[in-house]
Structure 1
Amino acid sequence: MRLNNRNRVGLYHFLSTLVIMIFVVGVLAFFLERYMYNYLGSSSALFLIIPTFILLVFYFRGRQIFEYDSDGEALMVKNRNIFPFLDKATTDEFPKYKLLKYEILDILILRRLYISISSKKNNSIILKYDVSYLTKKELNDLKFSLSKVIKANKEREKS
């Protein structure tokens, strides 16, 4: 199964540009209010607080582009940001039989996918991916595919 949200790159560029513009306008409004007009008094800090909060939410939601491919004998997972200078892209490819378990952490504004795979020295490695920008259907498809691989691995161990 292949899953990706690359078709929404334009939307994410628009949103990030909008967030940056809101932040810049908020900072300018704060300084204009503070040093020229002074109508709002101490409430003018809201011009800084609200845009900063929006910017932090957008940044902490994580990488926007998620690609997953389970065709063949290997699982391939890519996770990258639309702006390459903000975060380092994550690209992992490993055989399906190494997949041990997965967990999706869902907190108010972000979702993370944790995949445990086995390593050569009988240890497990936990890989982390941002899946906050996936739709509910895409997330359910991802869960179904990963569960199917884990089920096949357990059946193979029994044989």
Structure 2
Amino acid sequence: VFAILFATVFKSLEFLVDSTFFIFLGIFILIVLFHSIAGYFEYDSDGAKIIILNKGLILTEYINYRENKLEFDRHQLVGFKINNYVIYKSLVVLVKTYDGKKIKERFNVTLLKRKKLKYVKQSLSKTVKENRKRKQG
């Protein structure tokens, strides 16, 4: 839709004829970048289990190929880390399985507001702290 709109707009503007290819290339790169970065994030820690859900933002109702869901008991959480890159934020969660293996899962939290990210961080920190006390005692 954007390509057709820009093609008609730039066709009417004669001074941009030489740079039309570069403008389309820039717009295409921006759309691909937005699609790869943008993601829906959901966190639920109300019950005995913690549920973290990540899925794509565009076309998720029809094609849900980017879904990443992790559901685990509170006592399985070993640690977490929030990586803050320039245009991308990720939450890395370390969970211990029932057979003793540790699993690292990465979630995209780029579009999460600072206040909500703070709440997620507080909740996970509290759970990790409780698990360490339970392990020592």
Q: What is the Cα deviation at residue 152 of structure 1?
A: 0.4
Structure 1 unaligned spans of 5+: 1-20
Q: CA deviation at 1:24?
A: 4.3
Matches within 5 A, 1:1-20: none
Matches of 1:108 and 1:123, distance apart in 2: 32
2:2 to 22, 41, 44: 22
Question: Aligned residue for 2:97?
Answer: 119
Percent identity over paired residues: 23
CA-CA distance at 1:25 after TM superposition? 2.9
1:49, 1:29 → 2: CA distance? 16
Unaligned stretches of 5+ in structure 2? none
Give the RMSD, CA atoms, in angstroms: 2.3
TM-score (ref. length: structure 2): 0.83
Question: Is 2:136 the counterpart of 1:158?
Answer: yes
Evaluate the alpha carbon distance shift between residue 49 and residue 67 of structure 1 in structure 2; reply closer, same or farther with a 3 A threshold.
same
8 A Cα contact 2:51 2:71, kept in partner: yes
Higher helix proportion (structure 1 or 2)? 1
- Equivalent-residue separation in structure 2 for 1:109 and 1:148 (angstroms): 28
Distance 1:47 1:140, change over 3 A: same
Q: Give the Å deviation of 1:119.
A: 1.8
